Amino acid sequence: MKKDEITYEAEFMETEVVVWGEKESKEVYDIGCYGKEKDGRLILSFCEALHLMERKKLKIKKGKKKLSKKDFYEEAVKIDKEFPHKYVVYKDLRERGFLVRTGFKFGTHFRVYERGVKLKKGPKSKKEHTKWIVHAIPEKFTFSYAEMSRAVRLAQNIRTHLIWAVVDNESDVTYYEIIRITP
């Protein structure tokens, strides 16, 4: 069987999806830098897992039950109320050819890298540096100026750009770059 025809198996855990086994973990990661390898397993975010399911690269079980895409989506929404708009943005960016990683350590939803980047361990080249941090929000979202200011300063401190991805009711995404201008 060819590598692109293989469908991998994963297990739905409390807040993540896990691909067990070193060989399988490496192969799933290599599809497009999905997940984070840890102790011989691959930990996928809900967005990564659903995207791989849609690409027919991943089957997910919860206990002994195989989850359909709809079942998995519903389980993810129970745990993460922001999942619907986060996934719309994640999928849109991936389909545009960008490498998208979780942005938890930067207090945002995603880190986005330029097209064609393949992350590797060790020192990063300039191209491998995060290009944007992206926060996905529904169009009716409200926030304070202080919250926006913190987000912009964080992006500036890590030498990247802040993008707010606004998802409308039709699941269309509009991207806004927010920058700090100093007189």
pLDDT in tens, 56-86: 999 999 999 999 999 999 999 999 999 999 9
**pLDDT score, position 126:** 58
The letter for the amino acid at 13 is M
- Which CA distances in Å does 96 have to 18, 66, 68, 125, 183? 26, 30, 25, 22, 35
From 25, 49, 79, the end of a domain falls on 79
**pLDDT score, position 141:** 87
pTM of the model: 0.89
Asked, for residue 90, whether it belongs to a domain, the answer is yes
CA terminus-to-terminus distance, the chain: 61
What is the tally of structural domains in the chain? 2
Longest dimension (CA), the chain: 61
From 55, 79, 103, the end of a domain falls on 79
87 and 75 assigned to the same domain? no
Read off the pLDDT of residues 117-155 as tens digits, 9 standing for 90 and up.
Answer: 666 655 565 566 788 999 999 998 888 888 888 888 888
146 and 98 assigned to the same domain? yes
CATH code at 132?
3.40.1350.10
User: What residue numbers bound the domain in which 50 lies?
Assistant: 3-79
